[in-house]
Structure 1
Amino acid sequence: MIKIETGLSLRDFSTFRIGGEVAGLVRIKNEEDLQAFFQLINKEKRDFFILGGGSNVLFRDDYWHRLVAKIENDQKLVFKNEKIICGAGVTLAKLVNYAYEEGLTGLEWAVGIPGTVGGAIRGNAGAFGGQMADSVEQVVAWEWKEGVVKKRTFLYQDCRFGYRESLFKEEKNFLIWEVKLSLNFGKKEAIRKRMAELLMQRKKTQPKLNQFPSLGSIFKNPMAPKEIIALFEKEKQTKVKNHKVPAGWLIEKCKLKGQRIGDAQVSQLQANFIVNLGQAKANEVQQLITLIKEKVWQEFRIQLEEEIEIC
C-alpha cells in the first residue's frame, strides 16, 4: 500500500532549494510500489512527475497539482559477471564509490556530481570527457501509454544517447528502473588518484553545493562558428571537441559573472552555474536565463539551449 505524502515543498527535494508546495508525493521503493502508483494514476486520472535526485530540474514557485513519484529503489547495487547492476534510485556518489571499491574504472568523471543513476541515464550526464552512455550496456524501464504499463529492456543501441540526451528524455513516457553497466578493471590507486584530481578541480572551478545551491550546468555547450572556436582556442590554449565551446566561457565573455536578479546569481566561479543566494525564486532564475541567452546571442549570434528541465 503506497502512501501519499502531502504538505510538502518541492524545494526540499531540489539541490537548488527552489519550488512550491506539491499536491502529493509518493516514494517508490520497489516494483509493488510502482504498480500501485500506476493503478492510482489510472484510477484517479491524475497528472504526475517522475523525480530522481532533483539536481537537474527547476521547479516553479506555484502550487503543484501534479503527483510526484520519487524514485527510491536504491537497494540494488551488485557486481556480477563483470557488470554492475543497480537501481535507478542509487545515487551517483554511491555508484562511483562502489565501482572504485571493486577496482573498476570508467566512472571517475562522475565524482562529485549529485543526483541519481536514473536521472544521469535520462540526461546522459557527463563531465571531464566522460558520459553515462560510455558505460551503459542495458537499461530496464517502465513504459506507460494510454493507461497501459509494461516493463521493457533496452540495449545500448536502443537508448538513442546523444549530448545530454536519450530516448528516455525525448519520449517522456518512460521511467528508468534499472541499469547494467560495463566497466573495465583498473588499478585502484590510479582510480583513486584520478577521482581526487577531478574532485579538486570541481572544488576550484565550481561553487560548493552546500553553500550555494544550484542545478549544476544550466546550458549545454553549443556548436560554434570557426572564428569563435579560434578565439577560444587561442585564449585557453586548448582544442575544442565536436566544434563545441563551453557555455560558461561565452557567458563570462559577456561579462555576466556575478549578474544577479533577486537571490538568483550567475556564479562568480563558474558562469554556467546559477546559484541560490538564499531565497531565490524560480521566476528570478528564469529571468536570468533569458538575460543570458539574449546577451550571448547579441554578442556571438549563438543560441544557448538549456540543459536543465523547467517544470
Structure 2
Amino acid sequence: MKNYLYLLGEIKEIVGESNVLADEPMKNHTSFKVGGPADIFVIPKDYQEVQQLVKVCKDQNVPYFIIGNGSNLLVKDGGIRGVVIKLTALNKIEVQGNKIIAQSGALLSDVSTCALDHSLTGFEFACGIPGCVGGAVAMNAGAYISEMKNVIENALVIDNDANIRRLDLQELELSYRNSIILKQGFIVLEAVFNLKPGNYNDIKTLIDDLQKRRTDKQPLDYPSAGSTFKRPEGYFAGKLIEDSNLKGVSIGGAQVSNKHSGFIINTGNATAKDILSLIAYVQKTVFEKFGVELHTEVRIMGEELNN
C-alpha cells in the first residue's frame, strides 16, 4: 500500500513543523468520530500556503483532500492516502458596511453571530449549521428558510491550475447541494456575503427560534454528519426512511436516529464500515418500498480497512 510520507519534509518547509502531522487519525477531525489515519495532515495559515501545498501535490502527482470542520464528512476505516489540508486556521471574519468577508475556515455560527452583532439580516438560517464557510459555499448549504446562493456575492477560490481567482455568484453555479466548486474540485478561500440592515432584536428572535427547532428535532447528543441524505425531488428523506420502518435500526454502532430518521448517528463505538453498511441498507430498503433513490449528502472519502 503506497503512502506519501516522503513529502513530509517539503510540506514542513511550507507551513512549519508544528502544523504537519503524520498518520493522523481522521476520527479526531470529523463530527462522526470515525476514520482511519491520513498519511499527511496539514493546517495552513494563509492563502499562499494553501496554494503552495496544492502546487506541490500536483507537481508530485500526490492526491490531496480539503476539509474544514469535518461536520459533513465520513472517512473510511483505512484512512486517506495522500495529503489532507484542513482550512480551519483560515477563520477571519470582517465586516464592511452591509458585507461580511469570511475566510473558508470560519464557522457558520460565528458568521451568524457577527451578522447579529452588526444588525445585519439574511444569515440567520446558517446559525445552526455546524460547518465552515468553505464547505457551505461548495455544497450551497441551506437550512429552514434560506441557502448560501441567496446571500453570497462572490468567492475567492483556487482553481485546478492552482491559480487564485474570484468567482461571482453566477460563476459559482450554485444549485441544490452543488456548485462549480464541487464539480471542478476548486478550493474556497473566502466568501463575501451581501446582507441587509435589520433590527437586532428581530434577528436575535429568529436565530433563537431556529436554534430551538434544531435542538428539539435533531439528535445533537450523538456524533453524526447532520442530514445523511439529500432531499429527493418531491419527497423528504427522513419521512421516507421513517415510513420504511427504519427508525432506530442499527448496524454495529451505527443507528438511524430515533429522534430524526434523516440522521445516522454513531452511538459510541461505530466504525465507518458500520455507517456505510447502514447507509446502503437504508438506500436499498427505501428503494424497494417506494422506488426512490436516496443519495448521500455526507462526503465519503478514504479507503476500506485491509484486514
SS in 1 for 2:70: coil
1:214 aligned onto 2:224: yes
Q: Give the Å deviation of 1:34.
A: 1.7
Aligned to 2:90: 74
Please give the alpha-carbon distance, in whole angstroms, between the structure 1 residues aligned to 2:155 and 2:89. Answer: 15
Q: Give the Å deviation of 1:40.
A: 2.8
Aligned to 1:267: 257
Amino acid of the residue matched to residue 222 of structure 1? P
Aligned to 1:189: 201
1:161 aligned onto 2:174: yes
> Do 1:122 and 1:165's aligned partners in 2 also have CA atoms closer than 8 Å?
yes
Q: Give the Å deviation of 1:300.
A: 1.1
Q: Give the Å deviation of 1:202.
A: 0.7
Q: CA RMSD in A?
A: 1.3
Structure 1: tracts of 5 or more residues without a match: 224-243
Aligned to 2:28: 12
Aligned to 1:230: none
CA separation of 1:213/1:75 partners in 2, compared to 1, >3 Å: closer, same or farther? closer
Structure 1 residue aligned with 2:39, among 23, 42, 58? 23
**What TM-score, normalized by structure 1, do the two folds share?**
0.88
1:283 aligned onto 2:293: no
SS in 2 for 1:49: strand
Q: Give the Å deviation of 1:82.
A: 2.0
> Do 1:85 and 1:178's aligned partners in 2 also have CA atoms closer than 8 Å?
yes
Please give the alpha-carbon distance, in whole angstroms, between the structure 1 residues aligned to 2:214 and 2:58. Answer: 44
Q: Give the Å deviation of 1:113.
A: 1.5
Please give the alpha-carbon distance, in whole angstroms, between the structure 2 residues aligned to 1:294 and 1:35. Answer: 41
Write out per-residue CA displacement over residues 51-75 of structure 1, whole angstroms, 9 at most, x where no aligned residue. 1111111100003212101113434
Please give the alpha-carbon distance, in whole angstroms, between the structure 2 residues aligned to 1:105 and 1:194. Answer: 10
Aligned to 2:6: none
Please give the alpha-carbon distance, in whole angstroms, between the structure 1 residues aligned to 2:97 and 2:225. Answer: 35
> Do 2:157 and 2:165's aligned partners in 1 also have CA atoms closer than 8 Å?
yes
CA separation of 1:75/1:198 partners in 2, compared to 1, >3 Å: closer, same or farther? closer
**What TM-score, normalized by structure 2, do the two folds share?**
0.90
Please give the alpha-carbon distance, in whole angstroms, between the structure 1 residues aligned to 2:203 and 2:101. Answer: 20
1:292 aligned onto 2:282: yes
Please give the alpha-carbon distance, in whole angstroms, between the structure 2 residues aligned to 1:47 and 1:191. Answer: 43
> Do 2:54 and 2:64's aligned partners in 1 also have CA atoms closer than 8 Å?
no
Q: Give the Å deviation of 1:37.
A: 1.3
Write out per-residue CA displacement over residues 141-191 of structure 1, whole angstroms, 9 at most, x where no aligned residue. 01123xxx211111101111111111101112x110011101111111011
Structure 2: tracts of 5 or more residues without a match: 1-13, 302-307
Write out per-residue CA displacement over residues 105-137 of structure 1, whole angstroms, 9 at most, x where no aligned residue. 111111221111000000111110211111010
CA separation of 1:283/1:182 partners in 2, compared to 1, >3 Å: closer, same or farther? same
> Do 1:73 and 1:87's aligned partners in 2 also have CA atoms closer than 8 Å?
no
> Do 1:74 and 1:88's aligned partners in 2 also have CA atoms closer than 8 Å?
yes
> Do 1:73 and 1:88's aligned partners in 2 also have CA atoms closer than 8 Å?
no
Please give the alpha-carbon distance, in whole angstroms, between the structure 2 residues aligned to 1:18 and 1:69. Answer: 18
Please give the alpha-carbon distance, in whole angstroms, between the structure 2 residues aligned to 1:110 and 1:50. Answer: 21
Please give the alpha-carbon distance, in whole angstroms, between the structure 2 residues aligned to 1:171 and 1:265. Answer: 33
Please give the alpha-carbon distance, in whole angstroms, between the structure 1 residues aligned to 2:299 and 2:153. Answer: 26
Aligned to 1:201: 213
Q: Give the Å deviation of 1:43.
A: 4.4
Please give the alpha-carbon distance, in whole angstroms, between the structure 1 residues aligned to 2:286 and 2:51. Answer: 46
**Within-5 A mapping of 1:1-311:** 1-2=14-15, 3=17, 4-145=20-161, 149-172=162-185, 174-208=186-220, 211-223=221-233, 244-311=234-301
Q: Give the Å deviation of 1:271.
A: 0.4
Please give the alpha-carbon distance, in whole angstroms, between the structure 2 residues aligned to 1:197 and 1:297. Answer: 35
> Do 2:26 and 2:36's aligned partners in 1 also have CA atoms closer than 8 Å?
yes
> Do 2:230 and 2:237's aligned partners in 1 also have CA atoms closer than 8 Å?
yes
> Do 1:74 and 1:91's aligned partners in 2 also have CA atoms closer than 8 Å?
no
